[in-house]
Amino acid sequence: MGTHGIAGHPWDVLRVLVGSALLAFLTACAAPSAQDIVTAPGIVDGVELLTDCRTYPQPTTVEDLDQLAATFLAHPGFQGGDGAMSIELGDGRRLVLFGDTLRERSYPGGSVVRNSVMLFDGDQVCVVSGPDGREVVSDRDDGVGYWPMSLVARSSGGVEDVAIMMQRVATTAADDLGFVILGTSLVRMRIPHQGAPRVLETIDLQEDDPSGSRITWGSAMWRGDDEWIYVYGTRNPQRDGVYGWSLHAARARWGDLADQDRWQFWDGERWSAQRSQVATLIKADGGVAQVLSVFARDGVWYVVSTKDGDLGDDVAVWTASHPFGPYTAHPAVMSLPAEGFDGALTYLVLAHPDLFEVPGSVVISYSRGSTDWEALVRQPLRYRPAFERIRLPVSAEPRVIR
């Protein structure tokens, strides 16, 4: 697997990137005295969410969006970030989640936060932040923080309920990554139509487990037409030479997402309550990235990811007639472009199936970063997602989902 001209083992390169981001987070200075910003508070259990909105040139095409992402620096609350998972809300706004995020040093809450949220509404872009301008999803009392992986939403009575799967991350000097992933957490958010988001609760779905070989549930999610929430998990077997992650499937009703004892897991033949019997849908060898996208359209299920792990060069699509497979691998639909500077990385490919929708294709984003965190701080536009449209492969005749 190539790394776009970067020397060293590809897994080690990713470790440098994320470890550097966390180091920057820990050493970032707190912001100076708060500046005047326009805020709209939403209070839940005494916690305030702040919405800082600015005017921006609204894109109408994927090309417009890609150009905007590469050049727009008019919002001090977002200078750069990775992730860019998104969903359209019932009132037409678009909710976008980012992981480690760069902001202007004078911005309330600090110049680096572990997660951030943006709302796009017509020609308004709004940065949403938590107490004192910090992360929307606050760190635990012991310093464990949260990185977003996937989200689903539903509308009812003028309110949008959003379920977000996040991975818990702790900094540690005992691991060569500089951090360790401890498991998955569910964040429940409520967004009144035309109102400010509110975080209702953050629920750790299982006890902290630093094991690198366990399944990371919530790596992708999709709300099916049958009202099941399909939750996908990935696992790396921790074997030399295997950089990909295997894919696994579970499902839950909306009200049961916080209780894994009520989930059903695909065991290869049926949905079962036995998570230990969960089947492998895509093998790790030549498999997917840790975080990816799964979505359904016209009865066909699509998996979109870099092939062969987080730093694979090729964007690939797998298709199936059911959420549980069997999944067919297709030839790569594109190769991620090499960035023109030392230490550049391209990673975290995500699909946006409700964005500028055109039959037979889907819009994707990929994150851009560097092994040199200070270079990103100096030039935050290098730490911005890029957007492309890819063709979707022709799949087998769709069948009724069981």
The predicted structure's pLDDT at residue 153: 97
Q: For 297, what's the count of Cα atoms within 13 Å in the CB-facing half-sphere?
A: 21
For residue 154, the model assigns a pLDDT of 95
Q: What is the pLDDT of residue 1?
A: 39
Total-model pTM:
0.88
| Residues listed for the chain | 402
The CATH number of whichever domain residue 377 belongs to comes to 2.115.10.20
Phi, psi at 63, each rounded to 5°? -65, -40
- The answer to whether position 164 is within a domain reads yes
**Residue 400 domain-assigned?**
no
Question: Range of 52's domain?
Answer: 10-391
Q: What is the pLDDT of residue 381?
A: 93
- 398 occurs within a structural domain: no
Per-position pLDDT tens, the chain of length 402: 333 333 333 444 444 444 444 444 333 333 322 333 333 444 445 366 899 999 999 999 999 999 999 999 889 999 999 999 999 999 999 999 999 999 999 999 999 999 999 999 999 999 999 988 999 999 999 999 999 999 999 999 999 999 999 999 998 765 555 788 999 999 999 999 888 899 999 999 999 998 878 999 999 999 999 999 999 999 999 899 999 999 999 999 999 999 999 999 999 999 999 999 999 999 999 999 999 999 999 999 999 999 999 989 999 999 999 999 999 999 999 999 987 677 889 999 999 999 999 999 999 999 999 988 899 999 999 999 999 999 999 865 444 333
pLDDT at 210: 87
Domain assignment of residue 3, yes or no? no
Kindly state whether residue 401 falls inside one of the protein's structural domains.
no
Q: How many structural domains does the chain have? A: 1
